Structure 1
Amino acid sequence: MLRVVHQQGTVTAAAEALHLTPSAVSHHMRELARQLKVPLMEPQGRGVRLTPAGHLLIDHADALLARWEEAQAELESYRVGMAGPLRIAGFNTAISGLIAPAAGRLRHSHPDLLVQVRECDTVASMDLLVAGKVEVAVVEPTEGGPPLDDARFEQSPLLEEPYIMLVPADHPLAQAVSVRLEDAAAEDWIVADPGTCDHAQRVRMLCAAAGFSPRIVHAATQWAAVWSLVGNGLGVSLVPRLAEGPAGQAVVRMPVSSENMPTRRILTCVRRGSRRHPLVDLGIRTLEEVVRDHRTMDDWP
């Protein structure tokens, strides 16, 4: 509970995340401080922050929780059968391209296993892991997100996903085998508004690395909207390979030339110490199988 209060910054937000009342959270925090005989929190504006003693306790708690996860994982190996649930969280394209296929495989290979999928962004997935509401999260590194050596998590590379360029079917670039980002420097671009998603920031950074600033004419955050705008000749866009749009749009998916191919890194994330849990291990191995199959598909750049 102290870790969630620290993460959320207010007792009210922590209570909401834990599905408790603020008074219950405050009571438990006072009791914990009384038992340890040191103040753990202090006011900061409208919120709270941890005292030095509170930070020290968090460090020890992370180590204790990791050992507890390891103990659960080893004990679980003695159980017969795998009933679940195995709860997996991930962002939109991770679900459509990776998590849903993995869940489908598990349904056939382990019919008694209950797999539950939840769509949310990386920050929310990490929160769900901390709260014990999911076992596996498929995430992408984000600005302000937890570092790879965060003591609470084990993060492992799953996929280096290439970006592809969407162009209208009658566009001159659609006839090429592959394109460079700078080939579209003079085009109208379709990109999400700044601050709406990490994808918007990433496209701007990739274009800047290619030596130009995209002339953004249209803003869209849903892939179906991006596909429709491109298909109607209103511009080009750069999207992750796993992104999918509605069928029937006059859109060509163009691989970006390998000399400057933009990619994004996708990771699996679990609570530290839980990786050896049989269900967690099964879930991650199945996700890795899906990735290996993607790499053998003809349409994988």
Structure 2
Amino acid sequence: MINLRLLQTLRVMNAQGTVAATARALNLSPSAVSQQLRQLSREVGAELWEPDGRRIRLTTAGCVLLHHADLLSAQWERARADLADHGGASYRTLRMGGFATSIGPLLAPTAQELREASPSTRTTVADIDTRHCYEHLLAGKLDIAVLTPLPGSPTMDDPRFDQQPLMDDYVDLVVPEGHPLAGRERVELCETADDDWISPHHDQSRLIEALCTAAGFAPRMVHHADEWSAVLSLISHGLGVCLVPRLVPLTTHPRLRRLCVGGDPPPFRRVLTCVRRGSESRLTISDGLRSLRARAALSPWT
């Protein structure tokens, strides 16, 4: 009989690419990971991986086993859901995570609602960027992730995950008070071609560059800040403009003006919920997803 824990190690190793990274993701030592992978090879009677420079890649046999491992994992998640619903457990844990600006309007209120509805359920929230969300879900460190897909993210039909649209977070142009466009309600992006820009964190910066390129110009990125609070501070001091998602509040910066950007539809980033495939039927997870959807449906930001 193949140990499901060994199959999980194979799945994480395929995602991480190295023994060291797999060990970090699973909170194991590299020697323990290597031992588990060797044991799995012995149990199936085939070589499952081979060196690829400094990384490891699956052999043909490894890819075949990985396909079945994904199917078995989804079925095991469904079995865990059935057991949880019928086993009468009095204490449950739900681990949620997502990008920073999803916590205030979505994850934190959802955690509070679930705690009040079921005091026996312990709900935790973590600030985790999209790339690490997928890794944490696969390693069993998260149950629900709220994320925005990026280039190279798992596709919607990836057998490891169940990803569902949650909301569209529209992106507005934010300018300082006194800017020539500040009195407008709606602008075209090409009108900012001569402005200095604030470059936010890498993923959002790539979105800005793509949108500006489509509008016919390359944005002149003069300043950079990773945190939205720092980006807004730079804008409020007249140092540039930036495209800012509506989930980012401007309440602490009264000298800023948020302007809708023209387009049909206007620019937005898609926000998804993501869970391990098969786990969506577990009671605590389905309650969390239901609460997030209800909150997003009533959202004033979309």
Q: Kindly indicate whether residue 196 of structure 2 is the aligned counterpart of residue 188 of structure 1.
A: yes
In structure 2, the partner of 1:220 is: 225
Structure 1 length normalisation: TM-score? Answer: 0.92
User: 1:19-72 CA distances to partner (integer Å, 9 max, x unpaired)?
Assistant: 111111111111111121111111121222111101110000000111111111
Corresponding residue to 1:30 among 31, 38, 42? 38
In structure 2, the partner of 1:238 is: 243
Matched residue SS, 1:144: coil
For the Cα contact (< 8 Å) 1:230–1:236, is it kept in 2?
yes
5 Å-filtered alignment, 1:31-110, equals 31-80=39-88, 83-110=91-118
CA RMSD of aligned residues (A): 1.7
Deviation at 1:74, TM superposition (A): 2.2
Q: Kindly indicate whether residue 173 of structure 2 is the aligned counterpart of residue 174 of structure 1.
A: no
The gaps in structure 2 that reach 5 residues or longer are: 1-8
Matched residue SS, 1:146: coil
Deviation at 1:183, TM superposition (A): 2.3
In structure 2, the partner of 1:281 is: 286
Q: Relative to 1, partners in 2 of residues 1:251 and 1:2: Cα closer, same or farther, differing over 3 Å?
A: same
Q: Kindly indicate whether residue 163 of structure 2 is the aligned counterpart of residue 155 of structure 1.
A: yes
5 Å-filtered alignment, 1:194-209, equals 196-209=201-214
Task: Quote the Cα distance in structure 2 between the aligned partners of 1:241 and 1:81.
Answer: 40
Corresponding residue to 2:267 among 250, 255, 262? 262
> Alignment length, in residue pairs?
294
Greater mean deviation of Cα atoms: 237-246 or 60-69: 237-246
In structure 2, the partner of 1:136 is: 144
Task: Quote the Cα distance in structure 2 between the aligned partners of 1:239 and 1:248.
Answer: 13
In structure 2, the partner of 1:252 is: 257
Quote the sequence identity (%).
Answer: 44
Structure 2 length normalisation: TM-score? Answer: 0.92
Task: Quote the Cα distance in structure 1 between the aligned partners of 2:106 and 2:202.
Answer: 20
Matched residue SS, 2:238: coil
For the Cα contact (< 8 Å) 2:95–2:141, is it kept in 1?
yes
Q: Which runs of 4+ in 1 moved over 6 A?
A: none
Deviation at 1:198, TM superposition (A): 0.8
